[in-house]
Amino acid sequence: MSMELLQHLSLGIQVALTPENFLFCLLGATLGTVVGVLPGLGPTTTIAMLLPLTFKIPATSALIMLSGIYYGAHHAGSTTSIMLNMPGEPTSIVICLDGYPMARQGRAGVALCIAALVSFFAGCVCTVAIALFSPPLARVALLFGPPEYTTMILMALVTIVVLSSTSLVLTLGTAVLGLLLGTVGTDLNTGIIRFSFGSNGLVDGVSFVSLAVGVFAFAEVMAHIAAETHRPAERPKISSLIPTRQDLARSWGAALRGTAIGGVLGLMPGTGPLISSFASYVVEKQIAKDPTRFGNGAVEGVAGPEAANNAAALTHFIPMLTLGIPAGSAMALMLGALIIQGITPGPQVMTEHPDLFWGLVVSMWLGNTMLLVLNLPLVGVWVRLLAIPYRLLYPGILMFCCIGVYSLNNSTFDVFLATGFGVLGFGLKKLGCAPAPLLLGLILGPLLEENFRRALLLSRGELTVFIQHPISLGFLIVTALLPFVFLFTSRQALARRSHQAG
């Protein structure tokens, strides 16, 4: 077995280290970094545009490049979250919560370094997981049906209250507003269009990217302009770029836990990196000795979710490679690139095309190394972003955001929608509400409804289906216990604080 694995790996190394494949890997990782950094512009659009170019190159090289774009974008999405409080990719929303406060304390370099290091760590671990356990792990994906997804999403929604460090009422309020926004659009079961007010732009629901760019990027710019009218915005000083021993000590465990969470959740084709990154955040906050540090620049709040989102981005490949089930449209495009070249995805890929499978696995490790080498020196460059005068930086940000939102669906409506959400986001900021629950509500609401109704359709209306499936029952029990755990830990924190004070 191990002998066989060594043979496979040496084959993979031979494939991945040919000059062409090495260059394709570098090209993919670099492109991924670029689209990851630009808010709105995502890997799917990029892969779609490059797809015709891959017809003329070998399947293995094509897949190496396209997957490089995919994990590269996940790797780099956190950069703007940390520097500017604007998530470059949906998966890096959670990084804003502590990454941006770190930047404001002058620790942007530290946050970026930690993000690059834990991404690399998660990437290496998950590459090994793909190499060793792909076939058995693929079966896990099929264990998750509508009841399991329903209760998992329910659990995620309940944990949202733990996410925010502001008041419970405000968090619940913004999450519910997000859920309500999620009801806009075509009902999946009947095809009836809800709350579109005759606008074609709303028939498919509120665009997630519009909301994210609006409440994060646009609102941030507005808040700065509003602040500058009476005093010049304070510029965070850059104290150091290198993480301290304490930073590393704190990140180590968070990265391990984040990798485990992301690696497992990434196997489910329906959920993906987003849930994993915020699940990791909740876990870190729950087990922290002093949860009040979260939201104020806790390094674990960057390390855990960043590891989780990169781990999930890689294990997402397992259902695609072994079952032929793509998790999301970027994966579907990669699958298309393979099929076009006559390779049928499925369990036989590993045996019939070992060069492709193992070449990809080795290239993932190689790509992650390249990303680390690429990103660490870039930390210095990104940090200097903050030295650009705001009067130049902000118009630039607005422009890139508009291009990103527009490019997603060639829709000016989405750009206007983002502007509207910018105003909403500014209002929320003034009220002291965090925007993350709003976004999570918008994403999870429709998923919850869809899976809940599908579960009931399949069970012919029997609600007991949720307790008959063991995994689903497990999620329900955890969901029921969560509020108590939350109460208990916050009591403890209160007691400790009053103890310290007294």
Partner 1 sequence: MTRCPLTRYPRRSVIAMGAGLITLARATRAVAQSSWPTRTIRLVAPFAAGGGTDILARVLSQQLHEILHQACIVVNIDGAGGTVGATEVATAAPDGYTLLVGTPGTIEVNPLTHSLRYDPQKDLAPISLVTESAAVLVANRDFPPNTVQELIAYARQRPGEVNFGSAGPGSFSHISGEMFDYLAHVNMTHVPYRGTSAALADLLAGRVQLLFENMPPVMGDIQNGAVKAIAIGSATRSSFFPKLSTIAESGVPDYESTSFMGLLAPAKTPRPIIDRLQQAIVDGLHDPETATRLHALGVELNGSTPEQFAAFIARGIALTAKVVEAAHMRQS
Rounded to whole angstroms, the Cα distance separating 340 from 333 reads 10
Whether the Cβ atoms of residue 281 and residue 78 lie closer than 8 Å to each other = no
State the binding string over 392-431 for partner 1 (x if CB under 8 A, else -).
Answer: -----------------xxx--------------------
Q: Interface with partner 1 includes 211 (CB under 8 A)?
A: no
Q: Interface with partner 1 includes 454 (CB under 8 A)?
A: yes
Q: Dihedral through CA 414, CA 420, CA 425, CA 426, nearest 10? A: 140
User: Which listed range, 1-9, 81-89, 195-203, 304-312, lies at the site for partner 1 (CB under 8 A)?
Assistant: 195-203
Least distance from partner 1 to the Cβ atom of residue 192, Å? 6
Nearest CB to partner 1, comparing residues 9 and 403: 403
Figure out which of the listed residues 128, 168, 203, 388 binds partner 1, where binding follows CB under 8 A.
Answer: 203
The H helix count followed by the E strand count for the chain is 23, 2
Least distance from partner 1 to the Cβ atom of residue 344, Å? 4
Q: Interface with partner 1 includes 474 (CB under 8 A)?
A: no
Least distance from partner 1 to the Cβ atom of residue 66, Å? 12
Least distance from partner 1 to the Cβ atom of residue 345, Å? 6
User: Which listed range, 12-20, 126-134, 138-146, 212-220, lies at the site for partner 1 (CB under 8 A)?
Assistant: 138-146
Q: Which of 487, 422, 445 is nearest to 183 (CA)?
A: 445
Whether the Cβ atoms of residue 186 and residue 193 lie closer than 8 Å to each other = yes
Residues near partner 1 (CB under 8 A), total: 52
Least distance from partner 1 to the Cβ atom of residue 410, Å? 5
Least distance from partner 1 to the Cβ atom of residue 320, Å? 9
User: Which listed range, 101-109, 182-190, 232-240, 357-365, lies at the site for partner 1 (CB under 8 A)?
Assistant: 182-190
Structure tokens at 174: 């913004």
DSSP string, 230-244: TSPPPPPP---SSPP
DSSP string, 45-112: HHHHHHHHHHTTS-HHHHHHHHHHHHHHHHHHTHHHHHHHS--SSGGGHHHHHHHHHHHHTT-HHHHH
Least distance from partner 1 to the Cβ atom of residue 140, Å? 11
User: Which listed range, 40-48, 90-98, 172-180, 219-227, lies at the site for partner 1 (CB under 8 A)?
Assistant: 40-48
Could you give the 3-state DSSP secondary structure of residue 1? Answer: coil
Structure tokens at 88: 């470059």
Q: Interface with partner 1 includes 329 (CB under 8 A)?
A: yes
Q: Interface with partner 1 includes 347 (CB under 8 A)?
A: yes
Could you identify the residue written with the tokens 């269009």?
193
Could you give the 3-state DSSP secondary structure of residue 18? Answer: coil
* Pairing outcome for strands 193-194 and 185-186: antiparallel
Could you identify the residue written with the tokens 């090495």?
22
Q: Dihedral through CA 80, CA 81, CA 82, CA 83, nearest 10? A: 40
Q: Interface with partner 1 includes 346 (CB under 8 A)?
A: yes
State the binding string over 216-245 for partner 1 (x if CB under 8 A, else -).
Answer: ------------------------------
Q: Interface with partner 1 includes 470 (CB under 8 A)?
A: no
Whether the Cβ atoms of residue 16 and residue 5 lie closer than 8 Å to each other = no
| Torsions phi, psi for 67 (to 5 deg) | -70, -30
Rounded to whole angstroms, the Cα distance separating 468 from 363 reads 42
Structure tokens at 302: 């960057």
Nearest CB to partner 1, comparing residues 200 and 239: 200
- The per-residue b/e assignment along 361-370, b for 16 or more CB within 10 angstroms, e otherwise, is bbbbbbbbeb
Least distance from partner 1 to the Cβ atom of residue 375, Å? 27
State the binding string over 262-301 for partner 1 (x if CB under 8 A, else -).
Answer: -------xx-------------------------------
| Residues in the chain, total | 502
DSSP assignment letter at 340:
H
Q: Interface with partner 1 includes 145 (CB under 8 A)?
A: yes
Binding residues for partner 1 restricted to 5-34, rule: CB under 8 A: none
Figure out which of the listed residues 211, 318, 325, 374 binds partner 1, where binding follows CB under 8 A.
Answer: 325
- Judged by the rule CB under 8 A, the positions of this chain that interact with partner 1 are 44-45, 47-48, 51-52, 55, 141-143, 145-146, 186, 188-193, 200-201, 203-204, 269-270, 319, 323-326, 329-330, 332-333, 336, 339-342, 344-348, 409-411, 450, 454, 457-458, 460
